[in-house]
Amino acid sequence: MNDSTKTHDDPDPIEAEFTEKAEPSAKAPADSALPVWLTSLPDRFRPYAALARLDRPIGTWLVLLPTLIALSYTRIATGFLWIDLWWDVLFVVGAVTMRGAACTWNDITDREFDAKVERTANRPLPSGDVSVRNAYIFLGAQLLLAFLAWLCLPLDAKIVALLAIPLITSYPFMKRVTWWPQAWLGFTINWGVLVAAATAMHVSFGTILLYFGFVCWTIAYDTIYAIQDEEDDALIGVMSTARLFGDRVLTWSFCFFLGAGAFFAAASAAAGAPRIGALAVIGFLVHAVWQVNLVGKDKTAALRVFKSNAFAALILLIGFTVAAIL
């Protein structure tokens, strides 16, 4: 068919190819927790919501809950203050924006790896729904919102928060240079514990114990999470504690859960709340036993178990909140 016989209904191959690449994929990422909500968004917003992991709120909870726990822990000595409601608002804004920014940065640096893993191949950058340039612009917008929240913090908390930047920016590269990226994640994702302590009062010895407890906890749950990608990670050369521990991955994960419990118990004693703290830690460890037992029976439950750690943190939050009230 020559050009003179073409009709308006005949698609131009070049134009059709351009249109196909320009439109965001209607399919949610394979690991989306809210695929119906994600695909219901307007086309222009959907890939950016996925880029910030708004369709997977568990990550935000795992950033926010340790921060709230630290605030409650700090208030064991003084009781809660009305200003704490304002701090809670800032912590929520910070958790959502910084977690979204960290995920965006992670996807920018990992876009070639993500394209080779079935679970992540449909994410916005490897699928082509978002360009690298637009991802950087979106990253800047999220950081601007986080910066506005940062401006409202006390000076000490501002300084502590800034110290997290090297951890956040270097985290995506850890899986390429060490078998312990989960440990680096633990130090990074729980930095809000120190920020909350500096906001409410100061970073005490007990707060440091609490922080290391959350680091151990993160290593445990993220090792379980990494079980999903063991085969793909081995093929593309990505390192993780799940691969490092091999057949003893659940044993080591439980050891880190125990380590977390020991740090939490010590922090409770340091704050003068050994009994309530002990009850919270017992509840936390019971949940850990359930996690390891479930994955031991069925490794496909790794994602479900990972998500359940929001409830493990909630146990601690209730315990320290009660201690602060009493």
Q: Give 187-227 pLDDT, tens digit per residue.
A: 999 999 999 999 998 889 999 999 999 999 999 999 999 99
For position 10, what pLDDT does the model report?
A: 46
Domain boundaries 61-325, CATH class: mainly alpha
Q: What is the pLDDT of residue 28?
A: 66
Residue 289 has pLDDT above 50, yes or no: yes
Q: Which residue has the tokens 């994410």?
A: 123
Q: Is the pLDDT of residue 2 over 80?
A: no
How confident is the model over 119-143, as a mean pLDDT? Answer: 87
Neighbours of 21 (CB within 10 A): 10
Percent composition of the chain: helix, strand, coil (DSSP 3-state, to 5): 75, 0, 25
Calculate mean pLDDT across residues 9-16.
Answer: 41
* pTM score of the predicted model: 0.86
User: By the 8 A CB rule, do 175 and 240 touch?
Assistant: yes
Average pLDDT value for residue range 29-57: 81
Instruction: Read off the tokens for 303.
Output: 């994602």
- C-alpha 224, offset from chain centre: 14
Query: Higher-confidence residue: 147 or 22?
Result: 147
Under the banding of pLDDT at 50, 70 and 90, the label for residue 34 is: confident
Q: Please report the sign of the dihedral spanned by the C-alpha atoms of residue 80, residue 84, residue 89, residue 93.
A: negative
- Does the pLDDT value for residue 3 go beyond 50? no
Does the pLDDT of residue 24 top 60, yes or no? no
Is pLDDT larger for residue 162 or for residue 107? 162
DSSP class of 45: T
**8 Å CB contact between 99 and 66:** no
pLDDT-based confidence at residue 244 (cuts at 50, 70, 90): very high
> What are the tens digits of pLDDT across the range 93-114?
999 999 999 999 988 988 887 7
CA triple 84-88-89, angle to 5 deg? 120
User: What pLDDT sits at residue 29?
Assistant: 62
Give me the amino acid identity at 82. Answer: W
